[in-house]
Chain A
Amino acid sequence: MAFDSVSEFFAMGGYGFYVWLAYGLTFLALTLLVVSNIIKKYIIIKTVERRLAREQRIKKAQNMENTL
C-alpha cells in the first residue's frame, strides 16, 4: 500500500486536486457515454412499439368499417 491513511490517499501527496479532477472528468465522460447509449436503445425500441401499436389500431379500424 502506497498510502498510510485515507486522508493521505485523498491528498495524493499534494496533487489531490489534479489527480481527482482527471479521474472525476474521466468517470463523468465514460458514464455519460454509457447512459446516453442505453437511453438511445430504449428510444429506438419505444419508437418501434409505437409504430406497431398504430398499425394495429389502423387494422382494427378498417375491420370495423367493413362490419358496419
Chain B
Amino acid sequence: MWKWLHPYAKPEKSYQLAGKLLPWFVVLTMIAFVVGLTWGLLFAPADYQQGDSFRIIYIHVPAAMMAMVAYSTMAIAAFIALVWQVRLAEMNVAAIAPVGAVFTFIALVTGATWGKPMWGAWWVWDARLTSELILLFVYLGIIALYNAFSDKLLAGRAASILTLVGVINLPVIHYSVVWWNTLHQGATISKFEKPSMAPEMLWPLIVMIFGFGAFLGTMTLIRFRNEILARESHRPWVSALVLAKLSEDK
C-alpha cells in the first residue's frame, strides 16, 4: 500500500489526482442538488404541524451535518500534518476551512429563518445554536490564523493545532440537544434508531445530505488544487503547466 500511496506525497501528483476526481464530484453534486431540491420542494408532502416551512430542512440539516463532517475531516488532516509532518495534509486543512465556515453560516442563517415562523424568534441563546455559533468562530479563527503568517509552513502548523483544539466543540454540538433542555429539536436521523420522519420526506433529505457532501468534496478539491499551485508557484512543474496552458490557448 505504501508503494502505491507514496507518489501522492508529491504535490504535483496530488494536484493531478485531484484534477481527475474533480469532474466526478461536480457531476454528483449537480445530480444530487437537482433531484433533491425538486423532490424536496415540489413533491414531498407538507408537514402536518409546520406546513411548508419545514422545507427549509432540505438545506438546514445537510449544511449543519456537512459542517461537522468538514471539521472532522480537517481534524484528521491536522493530526496527520502534525504527527507525520505531511505538508499536503496542512494544505488540506487550509482547503476545507472556508467551505466548513460557509456551511456553518448556512446552517445558522437557515436556522434563523426557520426559527422566526416556528419559534417566533430569529435567534435564541439555546445550547445548540450557541455551540454552532462557536463552531463558526472556530472556523473563522483557523482561517484568520492561517492567513496571519506569510511563512506557510508555520501557518499550516498553527492552523492545525487550533483545529485540534476546536475538536472539543464537536461532541458539544452533537449532544447539546440531549445534555441541555433546548428549544432546538432532537436528531431526526440517527444511526441506531428508526428515523422519526416519514420516508417520502426523508428520502429527499438523504439525497440533499449526499449533495452537500459531494459539494464539500468539489470545493475541497478546487481549493486544495489552488493551495498547491499557490505554494508551489516557483517550482518548474507549475511553470511547465502554465506554459502548456498558454500554448494551448494560442
Contact = CB atoms under 8 A, between A and B. Distances in A.
B44 A25 contact: no
Given A2-B45, A22-B59, A52-B239, A45 B106 contact: no
Contact of B222 (A15, A23, A37): A37
B168 interface: no
Contacts of A22: 56, 59-60, 109-110, 113-114
Interface in B192-250: 215, 219, 222-223, 225-226, 229-230, 233, 238-239, 242-243, 245-246
B233 A9 contact: no
A29 interface: yes
Interface residues of A, number: 30
B116 interface: yes
B56 A49 contact: no
Given A34-B222, A49-B246, 15 more contacts: A2-B46, A9-B41, A12-B51, A19-B56, A22-B113, A23-B56, A25-B110, A26-B106, A29-B105, A37-B219, A37-B223, A41-B226, A48-B229, A48-B242, A52-B243
Interface of B: 41-46, 51-53, 55-56, 59-60, 63, 98-99, 102, 105-106, 109-110, 113-114, 116-117, 215, 219, 222-223, 225-226, 229-230, 233, 238-239, 242-243, 245-246
Q: What 6 pairs across the A-B complex have the smallest Cβ distances?
A: A13-B52, A15-B53, A12-B52, A22-B110, A22-B113, A13-B51
